[in-house]
Structure 1
Amino acid sequence: MKLRSAIIAVSLTCLPVLPALAQTSSPSPAAAPANPTGAVPVPATKRVTCLATTQNLKGQDKRDQLQLCMAQARLDCLKQAIDQKIVGEARKTFIKTCVGADGTEQQ
């Protein structure tokens, strides 16, 4: 009788904790969704972010905001290049890659 009471007491104290443990456990690799195309997700560039933030605007407002956003993106990338002590042609290439500019501005 004591054993049964002990089992019931332990199960009553552990049961509320089990759902919380089940939610915090990481999924097994077998349960992870497979990537059927094998493509690796590419992080959005600052240019893509600027285009996305201005997509709801029209006309001159859109051009102005896009130009400001891209100028800020270039400045951020320049600061990063300076911090990393990148100079010369490598700096130019780094900034273009960082911003994600292809040389043409879409509006």
Structure 2
Amino acid sequence: MERAITAVNRAASSNTVVNLFLLSVFGALSARSLKHQWDIEALEAEKNALLKSNKEMRKTMWDWKQQLYAEAEALSSRALVPLSKLKAIYGDQDTAAPADGNSKGDGKAPGSRFII
């Protein structure tokens, strides 16, 4: 038992053992840092892909809304929902004051109600 303790003490005081231990710790930290760097790069690539798809979806929704407005305007005489109400629903029309100047005096802005 005494020999083992002496051998451990000698190894602990040896520069070679300490340097080997420090080198192995440095290697482990470097490997962990490299893995984190790869994770960060993958997340940045995913973020860029999500931003691109989000932009494409916004453009598609904008195109659909414009097409809906065009169809409502073209079928204005027999449309189920008039163009003005569609614009009010989507918030593309100023609803602060009525366009024709008529006011019911009830304090509610036109288009503040949802129509289902």
Q: TM-score range by the shorter chain?
A: 0.3 to 0.5
Between the two structures, name the one with larger relative contact order (CA 8 Å, sep ≥ 6): 1
TM-score (norm 2): 0.32
Structure (1 or 2) with the larger CA radius of gyration: 2
TM-score (norm 1): 0.34
